[in-house]
Structure 1
């Protein structure tokens, strides 16, 4: 039997290092795997940002770029595969959201920061900025900087294009002129010279641009009429398709399989949950994609035409390809990385035979590998957490159980690693229930830093995909409508009862923790579903449903905004909201609560936690609160992420000791 450590090292030997000197150049140390010890790693080893992220291959397949983390500082690395020449550019503590190649020599870096900009609804919001970086020359410029009528921010529609032999990069913004003009520009990647591609006062969602820079299509969604419309570019804009949806409007995804067709995702109607092509004449095809859930399109890296689909199943991936070269490559990757828990193509060169693959496996929290399928060359780019010993990477397993009403619930159970159990059986363990946010989201088999940290301290961790979760079909999502704080909540405690019946956990030693909707569930667990949990940790949790909707209305200025309508679906009858608002049920809290909230959160306001704290204090309940300075809704900053993890473990170990 291959051990975790053997599996990780065997693959490192097979896929020789991209550069043994990369870590040495940055830190003065080599990339050898951290040695195992009977003492668990520091929580910071789990909580820190990944050692590397946003790993991308240049269009010509000659260079790799990535964002390396060094104690919260972000460094952009540009590495030449053939020569090993490596250049670095520090971007400080910037909240990096994405990295792309703007051309074969320069990069596009997307980051975000909280700001209060006049002209935008609400108070402080998280805005994105885009920079073109020339790492080798140590130069950078900001898109939309010093352009009249624009803030230096970006709003999507990022495309690498070549116009008359010159590389350019596209990005969208809003020009403040009257009520605002939605604008699409391209920028010279060397000097940043802007060129207007399209601009209108219509509520444009997004554009499709061909690789040669010609406009192909755009989608519009009018928030007043709820009409979603698709326009095709000929000599002007021709409407191809339109439908009215309050929330479930279609999405313009990209190009279809040929030069003129487009790919649309439908959220309602006979093709709900499916991808279809629409021709230049406005004819909608039968669904193209694989039936099922967690289906995503795959586009050719050079032409950006639809190349196929991937459907992610609990027991592996299923593919449907139109491009035979890419099909053969995907089959080869699956075979080469058989035994991994999760794998995906992270980046492709314009020649799809050259790829960067991300993979996780037994004892490996994540690795990036460069493969050239034309030559057979394989190189390990690096690991996401090289300081985490294989023996301290806990196994994560799929489980299925029945809710009280008989509905089948899928989830994931992480047990303490064998080294933490020290020879003991994984029985009668303390448990942390860790519900996901959304609520229309889902947990999967991938490495999860928070559950791994809990497991390292001796806890079992349950991550249930309760009703309303994505990934199990429209009908399963709809079972969550109106069940906020009701069956969506008891689906969690039904999982506790299932694990107790299996003898896996001790039902008297259970805690609950979560963020966003998971934070709400953590609060509801000790106020609405009593007798289950010994303590609760809520990160950015909703505590008062009416106050949350009132804030959302103040932010958007529209009572029928898509966000409000989305939340109302799950919250159900407004007359019943008080009964499932933890703030208003604070007197019923039967366990200590820790509240954690980022000061710059623009998704769930800080007020939701302060209201809960005041209500608990008034009721004489045990409550603590931590406000994270400079943190957003997603625990993006390394220092506050580690602070959060350490505070959570201290609180849970105090009230629900392992």
Structure 2
């Protein structure tokens, strides 16, 4: 295969490129690494002649459209400059119309903050903008929080889509035509006229629908609730045979366990040609695997891809129909296995054609799949979007994700293992400063969030910043992480916190024993659960880490339980946290007196994942105990701190804090 590469004449211009890296100070480097990605999401029109790019703009976000045929510069077609409104993603129902999801924050009369979403539709040049979400009329007996979502870009008729939405019943006072529909259902919507027809009547227990990509709803999920409306952690799935729009047949039941894991076949994507649904379930080795189930009445089940050493956790799909072309899993790195041989060969050819890019992710495609949008990246390559034409074999660059780092040497991320105190080998990733011999360095242990998550090989802006500032960084996939099966997951990182925190502390000890870290210059930094782990390590192993940085941390397990009160997942969250003595022992805010080293805390005021009161409580308890603590709170920001200014502050303040505390010049 011959692949030609040239830079696109109409690539997005990037303003404010930083100066050369030589001599760059901490603030300059913090600004480079703290900058948001230049594109949040890219989508391609059905013909492949246009692409839409969602990007951060000022304190908000915007959508730009590039006409690939004309080669003209991109035009801004939508801009939300208010930090209370955020465009998350867009896609094309037709060549001329775009649909985007917008999240909106508000405040009620009591001062309570809330968030809801709406779907917008407009022309490729920004004209004829309309709200696509049907929120009901003045008779509605409730508020529509979810703006719905497109489950099929081919609604069965030209210019239509299938849209899953929340139906709210209407008041019947003074009328006979009020709607009594309630629950989640599906309607066919004309994206030009907004004419809509219900194709799947809502049920009070329906929670999701899956189509076949050709305008037919084939799977329904029914979420079970108790008499008080709380989720029971069980979803029953049903299916329909081809060309049967009436009878629902039993498919599977997925049940959430108290520890946050789940059992049962979880359907994800329908293949109409093979008349199967692909989904995930555990194999005999207790690892997540991909199975297909026949939708012909037999429910014949077939193992498609499974491993004994890792979970298969991602289906690879492509294009408007979201055709499944493979699956991927992560061991020391992420690997893809393709069910489509042609695209598998193409992915291999693209890796060879793009030196330094080890990973290829398919982003979108034209309707005929001849034109593709892809993202190429690696540990030292933050990512670049490309367009590939299968007919001409032409590969064109669209834009880099992080142009501010173009001239910054990035550090290699190396998979490693280290022994826990009980002899178990713990996997992780070690990143050393560029040019370092890997010995006698200031070092950071950086546990991931979740806890039911894991770190993977690839570019990480936090890790790379600290490596650029001269630190060795170790990211342990401690027991309690996902991706390694049920035995590794334990009872999750809260109920089994002693095992998880023990592994994280052993990561620090290993850095010292290997001579990588100077014992007096070892720190721990974490975000979310990682922040909890950083603080709890300061409680259980006082002085092992000489400085603690915690971003949006959980600090009291009982407070975390309280945060879910009056939400439908209250009982599931409570079961996930559990009951017993681990609540008292595993809450760092209750043992602030045991922490012997300086602490730096960060939190977003509008955090919906971990309430800001968790950091406020930790700050208060540490001060009451006479400990050294600094707390920085970011107004109007949520859990991920999606703000270049906030992230720059986080990096520069953390670096200054570590250098002062650890005595680094």
TM-score, normalised via structure 1 length: 0.87
Q: How does 1:574-613 map to 2 (within 5 A)?
A: 574-613=580-619
Aligned to 2:305, the other structure's residue is in SS state: coil
2:40 to 48, 53, 69: 53
Q: Is the 8 A contact 2:378 2:459 kept in 1?
A: no
Change (3 A) 1:269 1:176: farther
Distance 2:504 2:285 in 1: 33
Structure 1 residue 174: Cα displacement? 4.4
Aligned to 1:42, the other structure's residue is in SS state: helix
Distance 2:628 2:245 in 1: 67
Structure 1 residue 440: Cα displacement? 1.0
For 2:302, the equivalent position in structure 1 comes to: 286
Would you say 1:355 and 2:372 are equivalent positions? yes
Query: What per-residue deviation string (whole Å, max 9, x for no partner) do you get for residues 583-629 of structure 1?
Result: 11111011111222211111211221122122112211112222211
1:236 to 219, 223, 246: 246
Q: Is the 8 A contact 1:273 1:474 kept in 2?
A: no
1:448 to 447, 455, 460: 460
Structure 1 residue 637: Cα displacement? 3.0
For 1:101, the equivalent position in structure 2 comes to: 92
Q: How does 1:397-546 map to 2 (within 5 A)?
A: 397-418=414-435, 425-478=437-490, 480=492, 484-546=496-558
Would you say 1:130 and 2:119 are equivalent positions? yes
Would you say 1:18 and 2:34 are equivalent positions? no
For 1:37, the equivalent position in structure 2 comes to: 22
For 2:176, the equivalent position in structure 1 comes to: none
Would you say 1:633 and 2:619 are equivalent positions? no
Distance 2:647 2:517 in 1: 28
Structure 1 residue 73: Cα displacement? 4.4
Q: Is the 8 A contact 1:341 1:445 kept in 2?
A: no
For 1:213, the equivalent position in structure 2 comes to: 215
For 1:87, the equivalent position in structure 2 comes to: 75
* Structure 2 runs not aligned, ≥5 long: 171-179, 227-231
Aligned to 1:221, the other structure's residue is in SS state: strand
TM-score, normalised via structure 2 length: 0.86
Structure 1 residue 513: Cα displacement? 1.5
Aligned to 1:147, the other structure's residue is in SS state: coil
Query: What per-residue deviation string (whole Å, max 9, x for no partner) do you get for residues 445-503 of structure 1?
Result: 22111112222222122211111112223322227566643121121121122222222
Q: Which moved more, 1:337-346 or 1:493-502?
A: 337-346
Q: Is the 8 A contact 2:556 2:587 kept in 1?
A: yes
Q: Which moved more, 1:292-301 or 1:613-622?
A: 292-301
1:62 to 28, 49, 57: 49
Would you say 1:388 and 2:405 are equivalent positions? yes
Q: Which moved more, 1:401-410 or 1:54-63?
A: 54-63
Query: What per-residue deviation string (whole Å, max 9, x for no partner) do you get for residues 630-656 of structure 1?
Result: 111121233333333333223223222
Structure 1 residue 543: Cα displacement? 0.9
Would you say 1:160 and 2:153 are equivalent positions? yes
Structure 1 residue 582: Cα displacement? 0.3
Structure 1 residue 205: Cα displacement? 2.6
Q: Which moved more, 1:257-266 or 1:536-545?
A: 257-266
Change (3 A) 1:636 1:39: closer
Q: Is the 8 A contact 2:151 2:210 kept in 1?
A: no
Structure 1 residue 315: Cα displacement? 4.4
Structure 1 residue 268: Cα displacement? 8.8
For 1:421, the equivalent position in structure 2 comes to: none
Query: What per-residue deviation string (whole Å, max 9, x for no partner) do you get for residues 38-73 of structure 1?
Result: 325431111121122312222222222212334444
Distance 2:323 2:397 in 1: 29
1:567 to 577, 581, 586: 577
Q: Is the 8 A contact 2:150 2:161 kept in 1?
A: no
For 2:173, the equivalent position in structure 1 comes to: none
Aligned to 2:303, the other structure's residue is in SS state: coil
Change (3 A) 1:79 1:186: same
Change (3 A) 1:363 1:210: closer
Distance 2:294 2:273 in 1: 9
User: Number of aligned pairs?
Assistant: 626
Distance 1:631 1:235 in 2: 45
Distance 2:511 2:89 in 1: 39
Q: Is the 8 A contact 1:88 1:135 kept in 2?
A: no
Would you say 1:172 and 2:165 are equivalent positions? yes
Q: Is the 8 A contact 1:364 1:390 kept in 2?
A: no
Change (3 A) 1:21 1:268: closer
Distance 2:500 2:448 in 1: 12
For 1:644, the equivalent position in structure 2 comes to: 650
Distance 1:239 1:295 in 2: 26
Q: State the 4+ residue runs in structure 1 displaced beyond 6 angstroms.
A: 268-272
Would you say 1:142 and 2:131 are equivalent positions? yes
Structure 1 residue 202: Cα displacement? 3.0
